[in-house]
């Protein structure tokens, strides 16, 4: 096979990939170590005795690739063809696995004549999506149990690779392939046309007849390679990342009241398309990857990933599996096994799976940068320093602290792991006859996060993230140079207010001033003014219709504060003295700020939408939404200062020096707020 594009690649030996930008913004990479997935994954399947389905239109070489892989296992062409089954609508179990032995039947015995596919060390089912459902069920049993039962006889099959093809790229065909059979496929690849540049070279070549002898593997050689692959270790950090990825995919806060059942597997099938995958203003599909898929990702997929990652690492000559190997095999192993939810942009399944992984890894890295974050790993480290008699009480206390930092569905699986650790520890205590001693817990080291929590970044770190096409997470902070001050890089979002509301923000008195509480009761305020308006209520949009009184209560309940007017202007300027706007003197454009102009979206932008920060790493200090300040306006002591302009106001109001004001109970759809705190 020649002319297939290399669609997978790795940097190698310090040599970086070359990037070519296409007009639509897509980046094509040319890597020093590169492979064509349509060839690589069938090869890996042969080496680990996996199951792979090759998808694509007729004439793209699926059957030829499968035949080549059969030759690589050392089988001659006649044996490969004898072991191949072509799917068709009338295919029966007997056609697939064996017929009645008529000679034995004449003697009064009922037994089968087994077909070559059950005896071979290479198995190939062509166009398996044309097989009737009943026969698919028999095939599923053979894949699951590694034996075939026919005419009261049983044949135990040797471990061997299975190759399947389907002529339609989406897997459709004469019969719908049953979900359980899809799940038994370790990997899937899509056929790619031969590049036109190579068509002349490809003419007249028969790769099946000309297969190089030195590439054929004997049965013994295949076993040795398989054993080496199986024994390849997995880097602990890489395995932790994969485990985290799975925990994010499966947990679902709203699946059940019982925390032990808060997984998508506990949602009634017909309700998985509804609101069950979202949790109020968080767990939205834009941030929480678990909300993008409907089905549960099981352990079979996990072990397929490990299996193929080991094979890839061995093939690349590595001594252990690393994160890049896991990331490389994920699309092939998962794209045919997970079901996108209604909001998922999953037209290209391979790219979509890679994006899910990258989003999870960004969140994982953000979490790891927070040195004070509670986690199962850190709990285990701490338990290693205290006596067994003290450990149950410490785990219990640690779990209580951990739940305070949980965000929607994220953390549910880790919390349940702590519960299992507690139960295991209690069993050890009882087995050893140890009396539990209630000792005072040693004080925790002081936290730099304070009540509000969140990762603290420098302006340089935010600017580097922006340069790399990433945005700081909601809930993070920027340390302002020369000031004893931490400022949120984003204005307060609907997601954050939703969590506050869920904890009784409008019902409890915490944070509410006397004037604000009185206004709340008299006006029966229970939510922001535009909370139920789709144009303004998306989780990552800044909260609007949020009065100064409401902002005061929210910030006060979390130990946060408004910026004073002087602080706001200092932060907005970002170190640029005497300039008109946060970015300098250049007149506002759509690339610099979101304000009233032709083509305006008619609503605030999501705060995590890639946008340009100022030099202090703070976003939207001009435009998007007005920001309440602590101060009263000097022209009217009954009003509060507003700064920054908004999505619905003219460019002239974006000037750093411009001062607006509004009544503290005002709830306009262009007014939000920004949080600040001391370090």
**Where residue 341 sits, what CATH number does that domain have?**
1.10.8
Task: Indicate whether 656 pLDDT > 90.
Answer: yes
Residues 383 and 397 in one domain: yes
Is pLDDT above 70 for 285? Answer: no
Domain that holds residue 326: 236-369
Q: What is the mean pLDDT of residues 543-555?
A: 96
Higher per-residue pLDDT: 553 or 282: 553
Is the domain of 398 the same as that of 461? no
Phi, psi of 303 (to 5 degrees): -70, -30
Q: Which two tokens stand for residue 451?
A: 């009540």
Over residues 235-245, mean pLDDT: 92
State whether 282 and 401 are in the same domain: no
My answer on whether 285 and 210 are in the same domain is no
Question: Are residues 284 and 138 part of one domain?
Answer: no
Indicate whether 627 pLDDT > 90.
yes
Mean pLDDT, range 103-111, rounded to an integer: 86
pLDDT bracket for residue 526 (50, 70, 90): very high
- The 8 Å CB, 24+ separation contacts for 423-432 are 425/383, 425/388, 425/391, 425/392, 425/395, 426/392, 428/388, 429/388, 429/389, 429/391, 429/392, 432/388
What is the model's pLDDT at position 74? 85
Which among 343, 369, 395 is the end of a domain?
369
CB atoms within 10 A of CB 440: 5
| Least confident window among 29-38, 167-176, 310-319, 520-529 | 167-176
pLDDT classification of 274: cutoffs 50, 70, 90: very low
Element holding 21 (H helix, E strand)? strand 18-21
In whole angstroms, give the CA distance from residue 256 to residue 253: 7
How far apart CA 69 and CA 207 sit, in angstroms, is 11
Last residue of some domain: 350, 369, 388? 369
Instruction: Specify the pTM.
Output: 0.63
Locate 152 and state its tokens.
Answer: 């009261």
Residue 207, pLDDT score:
54
- Identify the CATH number of the domain in which residue 208 sits: 3.40.50.300
Q: Please give the share of the chain, as a percent, with pLDDT higher than 70.
A: 89
Q: What span, in angstroms and rounded, lies between the C-alpha atoms of 543 and 494?
A: 5
Residue 427 is encoded by which pair of tokens?
A: 């069993």
pLDDT at residue 271 tops 50: no
The DSSP-derived string for 91-110 is --HHHHHEEE-HHHHHTT--
pLDDT band at 542 (very low <50, low <70, confident <90, very high): very high
In a domain, 3, yes or no: no
56 belongs to a structural domain:
yes
Q: What is the mean pLDDT of residues 76-100?
A: 88
Alpha-carbon span 472 to 491, nearest angstrom: 12
Question: CATH number, domain at 501?
Answer: 3.90.1580.10
Position 430 pLDDT exceeds 70: yes
261, 160: one domain: no
**Are 253 and 204 contained in the same domain?**
no
Between CA 421 and CA 663 the distance in angstroms is: 53
**In a shared domain, residues 478 and 616:** yes
- Average pLDDT score over the chain: 85
**Would you tell me how many other CB atoms lie within 10 Å of the CB of residue 625?**
30
Q: pLDDT-based confidence at 3, cuts 50/70/90? A: low
Residues 314 and 380 reside in one and the same domain: no
644 sits in the region (left: phi over 0; alpha: psi -120 to 50; else beta) called left
pLDDT value, residue 505: 94
Note whether 615 and 501 are same-domain residues. Answer: yes
| Residue 311 pLDDT | 97
Are 52 and 185 within 8 A, CB to CB?
A: yes
Spatial distance between the Cα atoms of 255 and 248, rounded to a whole number of angstroms: 14
Q: Are residues 363 and 385 in the same domain?
A: no
CB of 336 within 8 A of CB of 179? no
pLDDT digits (tens, 9 = 90+) for 457-504: 999 999 988 888 888 888 899 999 999 899 999 999 999 999 999 989
Q: How many other CB atoms are found less than 10 A from the CB of residue 515?
A: 12
For residues 182-191, give the mean pLDDT. Answer: 92
On whether both 220 and 329 belong to a single domain, the answer is no
Give the count of beta carbons closer than 10 Å to the beta carbon of residue 212. Answer: 9
Whether 282 has a pLDDT exceeding 60, the answer reads no
Query: What local confidence, expressed as pLDDT, does residue 200 receive?
Result: 63
pLDDT of residue 362: 87
Highest mean pLDDT among 272-276, 289-293, 593-597: 593-597
Three-class SS state of 496? helix
Of 318-322, 336-340, 529-533, 536-540, minimum mean pLDDT range: 336-340
Structure tokens at 555: 């910030």
Tokens of 126: 């062509």
Name the residue among 212, 497, 186, 423 with its Cα closest to residue 311.
186
Structural domains in the chain (count): 4
End-to-end Cα separation, the chain, in angstroms: 62
pLDDT in the model for residue 447: 35
Q: Are 439 and 332 in contact (CB under 8 A)?
A: no
Last residue of a domain, one of 369, 390, 423: 369
- Return the residue matching tokens 């045919």: 336
Q: What's residue 344's pLDDT?
A: 66
């Amino acid at each position: 096979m020649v002319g297939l594009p290399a669609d997978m690649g790795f940097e190698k030996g310090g040599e970086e990939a070359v990037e070519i930008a296409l007009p639509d913004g897509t980046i094509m990479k040319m890597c020093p170590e590169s492979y064509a997935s349509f060839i690589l994954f069938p090869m890996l399947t042969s080496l680990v005795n996996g199951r792979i389905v090759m998808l694509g239109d007729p004439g793209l070489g699926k059957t030829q690739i499968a035949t080549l892989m059969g030759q690589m296992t050392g089988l001659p062409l006649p044996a490969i063809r004898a072991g191949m089954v072509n799917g068709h609508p009338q295919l029966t179990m007997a056609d697939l696995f064996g017929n009645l032995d008529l000679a034995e039947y004449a003697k009064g015995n009922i037994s089968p004549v087994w077909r070559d596919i059950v005896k071979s060390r290479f198995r190939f089912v062509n166009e398996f999506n044309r097989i009737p459902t009943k026969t698919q069920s028999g095939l599923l049993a053979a894949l699951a149990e590694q034996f075939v039962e026919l005419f009261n006889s049983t044949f135990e099959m040797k471990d061997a690779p299975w190759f399947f093809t389907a002529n339609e790229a989406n897997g459709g065909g004469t019969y719908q392939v049953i979900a359980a059979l899809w799940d038994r496929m370790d990997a899937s690849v899509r056929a790619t046309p031969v590049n036109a540049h190579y068509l002349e070279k490809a003419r007249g070549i028969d790769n099946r007849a000309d297969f190089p002898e030195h590439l054929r593997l004997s049965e013994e050689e295949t076993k040795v390679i398989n054993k080496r692959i199986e024994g390849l270790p997995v880097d602990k950090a890489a395995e932790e990342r994969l485990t985290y990825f799975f925990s994010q995919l499966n947990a679902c806060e709203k699946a059940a009241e019982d925390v032990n059942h808060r997984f998508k597997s506990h949602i009634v099938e017909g309700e998985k398309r509804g609101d069950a995958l979202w949790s109020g203003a968080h767990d939205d599909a834009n941030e929480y990857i678990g909300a993008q898929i409907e089905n549960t990702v099981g352990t079979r997929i996990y072990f397929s990933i490990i299996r193929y990652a080991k094979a890839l690492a061995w093939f690349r000559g590595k001594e252990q599996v690393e994160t890049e190997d896991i990331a490389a095999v994920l699309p092939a192993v998962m794209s045919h096994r997970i079901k996108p939810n209604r909001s998922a942009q999953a037209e290209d399944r391979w790219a979509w799976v890679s994006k899910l992984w990258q989003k999870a890894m960004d969140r994982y890295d953000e979490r790891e940068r927070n040195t004070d974050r509670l986690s199962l790993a850190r709990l285990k480290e701490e338990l290693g320093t205290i006596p067994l008699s003290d450990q149950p009480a410490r785990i219990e206390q640690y779990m209580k602290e951990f739940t305070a930092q949980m965000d929607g569905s994220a953390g549910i699986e880790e919390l349940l792991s702590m519960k299992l650790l507690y139960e295991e520890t209690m069993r050890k205590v009882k087995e050893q006859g140890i009396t539990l001693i209630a000792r005072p817990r040693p004080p925790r080291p002081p936290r730099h996060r304070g009540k509000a929590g969140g990762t603290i970044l420098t302006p340089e770190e935010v600017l580097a993230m922006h340069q790399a096409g990433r945005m700081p997470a909601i809930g993070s902070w920027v340390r302002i140079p020369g000031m004893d001050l931490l400022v949120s890089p984003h204005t307060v979002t609907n997601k954050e207010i939703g969590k506050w509301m869920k904890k009784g923000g409008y019902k409890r008195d915490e944070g509410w001033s006397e004037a604000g509480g009185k206004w709340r009761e008299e006006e029966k305020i229970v939510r922001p003014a535009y909370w139920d308006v789709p144009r303004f209520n998306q989780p990552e949009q800044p909260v609007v219709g949020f009065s100064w009184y409401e902002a005061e209560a929210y910030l006060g309940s979390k130990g946060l504060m408004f910026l004073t007017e002087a602080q706001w202007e200092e932060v907005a300027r970002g170190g640029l003295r005497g300039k008109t706007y946060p970015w300098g003197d250049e007149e506002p454009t759509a690339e610099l700020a979101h304000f009233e102009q032709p083509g305006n979206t008619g609503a605030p932008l999501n705060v995590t939408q890639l946008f340009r920060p100022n030099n202090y790493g703070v976003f939207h200090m001009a435009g998007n939404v007005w920001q309440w300040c602590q101060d009263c306006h000097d022209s009217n002591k009954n009003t509060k200062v507003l700064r920054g302009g908004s999505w619905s106001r003219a460019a002239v109001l974006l000037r750093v020096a411009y001062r607006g004001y509004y009544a503290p109970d005002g709830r306009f759809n262009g007014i939000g707020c920004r949080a600040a705190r001391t370090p």
